[in-house]
Amino acid sequence: MSTDALRLRPPHHRVDRRAILWWATRALAVTVVLTAAPAVPAVIFEPARPWLVPATAAIGGVGLLVTVAMPVWRYRVHRWEVTDTAVYTASGWLWQEWRVAPMSRIQTVDTARGPLQRVFGLSSVTVTTASAAGPIAISGLDHALATRVADQLTETTQATEGDAT
């Protein structure tokens, strides 16, 4: 941990590489559902095929492009770091965001694992502050690392003076 001056800067650590597969799997699932929406009626209702088949192809094509490009791009952008003084994150895909949360402003620290995250051995850490911008989320961490980060943040915030508001 470092004791750098508190300032907005790029964090040092990448999320786990398995996050690429997690994001790709989520995107593929959405693509399948969205592509099936016009595909099923196209099979059933022959008069609608002239416009449903191109719609199916367009949705499927865009979905596959997103499934391939988005996870790699997010992996390049998503970063996190915890120091003695703050939590730093960089996240996003099309809209990117850098955030810094001073330890004295942290109110709660939570971890979460959805079913798909469990398949890939990943977790998310959410740091809630008094900020109007909402909580800071670090998604795509190895489960054991996420647990250690949550424990570290809990211990550090308990030892940090401040009113967390």
pLDDT band at 143 (very low <50, low <70, confident <90, very high): very high
Give 7 or 71, the one with higher predicted confidence. 71
Together in a domain, 153 and 133: yes
Together in a domain, 69 and 84: no
Average pLDDT, rounded, for the chain: 91
pLDDT of residue 1: 43
Q: pTM for the full model?
A: 0.85
Instruction: Summarize pLDDT for 36-56 with one digit per residue, the tens.
Output: 999 999 999 989 889 999 999
Range of the domain at 52: 20-73
Together in a domain, 62 and 97: no
Boundary (domain end) residue, out of 54, 73, 92: 73
Together in a domain, 99 and 136: yes
Structural domain contains residue 111 = yes
Structural domain contains residue 5 = no
Structural domain contains residue 9 = no
Together in a domain, 110 and 129: yes
Q: What is the CA radius of gyration of the chain?
A: 20
How many structural domains are present in the chain? 2
Which one-letter amino acid corresponds to residue 153? Answer: L
| 121: CATH | 2.30.29.30
The answer to whether 22 touches 122, Cβ cutoff 8 Å, is: yes
Together in a domain, 101 and 36: no
Together in a domain, 54 and 119: no
Residue 3: is its pLDDT beyond 50? Answer: no
